[in-house]
Structure 1
Amino acid sequence: MPRSHGSAAGPAEAPIIAGFAGPLDSGAAPPGRSDAALSDLIGDVYDAALDDGLWPGVLHKAAAFVGGCAASVYSKDSVHRTAEITHGVGIDDAFKRSYLDGYVKIDPTTPGFFFCGVGEVVNTPDILPYDEFLQSRFYAEWVAPQGLVDQVTTVLEKSATSYAVFSVFRHARDGLADEGARHRMRLLAPHVRRAVQIGRTVTLGRAEAATFADTLDSLVAATFLVDATGRIVHANRAGHAMVAEGTVMRAARGRLLAADGESDRLLQGTLAAAAAAAAAAAGDGGEGGASLPLPGPDDRHHVAHVLPLTAGARRRAGAGYAATAAVFVCRARIEPPAAPEAIARLYGLTPSELKVLLAVFEAGGVADLAATLGISETTAKTHLRRLFEKTGTRRQADLVKLVAGFAPPGR
């Protein structure tokens, strides 16, 4: 669509809009539009990138700086003819709802923005003939009732079917935007664009971090993410509980320590090695970490698995927490299977054979197995032989490993 460039017409050419002969913006720099005001506003824009709650105040200032009564960051989808207001001030909620519910479908300005480049600043007469805009149902039913006459807009991003823009809306008392208003928008536009991009990245990072934290909380093992000094930067629920108990692991001044002195010496050495590996971070290596025995109360032994966060997805996961290593601490035992019936279906086991298999998981030799189940050793050996045949194993230890493979990874 060809674009008209008549927005900088002289005062005598100002259109009569809804009974108002609007003066054009002179482009002067009244209070609130000085270099100092711009500098402060830009700082506020970047603050809002990190805190969504600041956007309303920023947009009020932006509208005043550019010269308007309202401002919005919003996007449109031309395929579904829908819009989403990410941030907005100055437009009554009822008008926002009516726009999103229906008027977006008849907004005549929508197609014109697809012909604008990212970062380009335009106002309404740049994207469609202004007389055509005034004659539209959209103007009569949605724009005029609010006293609006124009919008100064910059395209933040776009695709073949959608775009996002930052707009400052002009009231009849402001008149159509002239080059002064467009210039001020050009000064502000790149910073709003960067802030929106930063905000999206921060929001995504927070969502990923929250999902990651929820995942860690679902683990049975006490899990700690630690930095290069051994400081705990994140722990799951089981980890907090273990540190609070203090019999296996503890915390001193925020650092993760093993309760046993010798075990702690080994742990700190392993964490130092993990930190060194993270600092080197040479590519996407698959460092395997280390496992350390940890004595606990009443002979309840634990094992700490230390995994350096230096490779691929591990490094990305740890980055959100400034972590260099993950430490998983669990009881030195094998968890029972979560769904015994899954094992029976997979290997075609009878109920009796499944009972024997699960008893092997808990019992010792054949005699112990027979005593546990209340059967003769001969019967126990018969069931074991059938289990070996069906599962392709040869020893009871192999059966234990097989069952352990069905243990639940989470709670």
Structure 2
Amino acid sequence: MDGALEVDNAVRQGLGQRSLESAAGSLAMLMDELAYGVLITTPKGRLLQANLAARREIARHGLLTLHEGQVQAVDAAQARLLAQAMAKAESGRRGLVALRGEGRRLSVAVLPLRTERPVDPPTVALLLSRPSVCDPVMLCFFARAHGLTPSEEQVLAILCQGHSAPEAALQLKVAVSTVRSHVRSMCAKTHSNGVRALVGQVAVLPPIGTCQMQDAVH
């Protein structure tokens, strides 16, 4: 049996035992655990749903904002690009919009959401880039899973931000040899053959973020 078909059949059987409402609630809770933002809008940008990470991003009013229920980029020129990408999604075209400002960058993937039956209005998904390669929650999980010491975890967090061993030593106010000793220990514990492979393991971890809401959309 085709793998995708097998999954579809399993989902249908599972839904036979649980209500669609219950399954939708579980998916909503899962979305709030993700480290990157997910928004569901109409092609005109009217917000329908947003997970926790997306609500935090909007609450910052830095690159994305909510104006009269419409998701918009703060910068006028970038807002036009985002609106164009959402309009194209209505005809089934995917897009990527790069938002910049305040020394930050935010990539927004714009995806048409296809359903078996037409819905009115049609829906579009906006997937926001993760704030960093190294999500603090997953870094903590990774460190515990591999038996890293607190000092090693500190070094790894700095390396995951793109800094070198000497830069990590400067930030931690320790000798470069100490940092390199931590790196050798971490590579041995994680079966990595170098810093690049070590950071690469962290970069592909499941994108799980903090589940505590600190900001609210106004």
Decide which of 357, 362, 368 is 2:156's aligned counterpart: 357
TM-score by length of 1: 0.38
Change (3 A) 1:306 1:358: same
AA of the residue aligned to 2:46: R
Is 1:383 aligned to residue 182 of structure 2?
yes
Matched residue type, 1:255:
Q
How far off is 1:259 after superposition?
Answer: 1.5
2:168 to 363, 369, 381: 369
Correspondences of 1:3-402 after superposition (within 5 Å): 204-240=19-55, 242-243=57-58, 246-252=61-67, 254-277=69-92, 289-297=94-102, 299-310=103-114, 315=115, 322-329=121-128, 332-338=131-137, 342-344=141-143, 346-347=145-146, 349=148, 352-362=151-161, 364-402=163-201
- Amino acid in structure 1 at the alignment position of 2:165: V
Distance 1:344 1:241 in 2: 26
Q: Is there any run of 5+ residues in structure 1 with no aligned partner, and where?
A: 1-202, 279-288
Aligned-pair CA distance for 1:322: 4.5
Measure the CA separation in 1 of the matches of 2:108 and 2:149.
Answer: 38
Q: Which runs of 5+ in 2 are unaligned?
A: 1-17, 212-218
Write the letter of the residue equivalent to 1:400. V
2:96/2:108 contact within 8 Å kept:
yes
Compared CA separation, residues 394 and 273, structure 1 to 2 (3 A): farther
Identify if the C-alpha distance between structure 1 residues 307 and 401 changes in structure 2 by more than 3 Å, giving closer, same or farther.
Answer: farther
Check 1:407–1:233 CA distance in 2 against 1; reply closer, same or farther (3 A cut): closer
Shift of 1:337: 3.6
Aligned pair count reads 194
Rg comparison, structure with higher value: 1
Residues 134 and 160 in structure 2, CA contact (< 8 A), matched pair in contact too: no
Alpha-carbon displacement from aligned partner over 1:78-136 (angstroms, at most 9, x marks no partner): xxxxxxxxxxxxxxxxxxxxxxxxxxxxxxxxxxxxxxxxxxxxxxxxxxxxxxxxxxx
Deviation at 1:368, TM superposition (A): 1.0
3-state SS of paired residue (1:338): helix
Residue 71 of structure 2 aligns with an amino acid whose one-letter code is L
Q: Distance in 2 between matches of 1:237 and 1:390?
A: 34
* Residues 339-387 of structure 1 deviation map (CA, whole Å, 9 limit, x = unaligned): 5564345445456544432342346112111123333222322332343
Give aligned-pair identity as a percent.
26
Distance of 1:222 and 1:270 partners within structure 2: 17
Shift of the 349–210 alpha-carbon distance from structure 1 to 2, 3 Å rule, reads: closer
Distance in 2 (CA, whole Å) between partners of 1:214 and 1:410 is 13
CA contact (8 A) 1:233 1:322 kept: no
The amino acid that maps onto 1:277 is G
Matching residue's letter, 1:361: C
Give the SS at the match of 2:127: strand
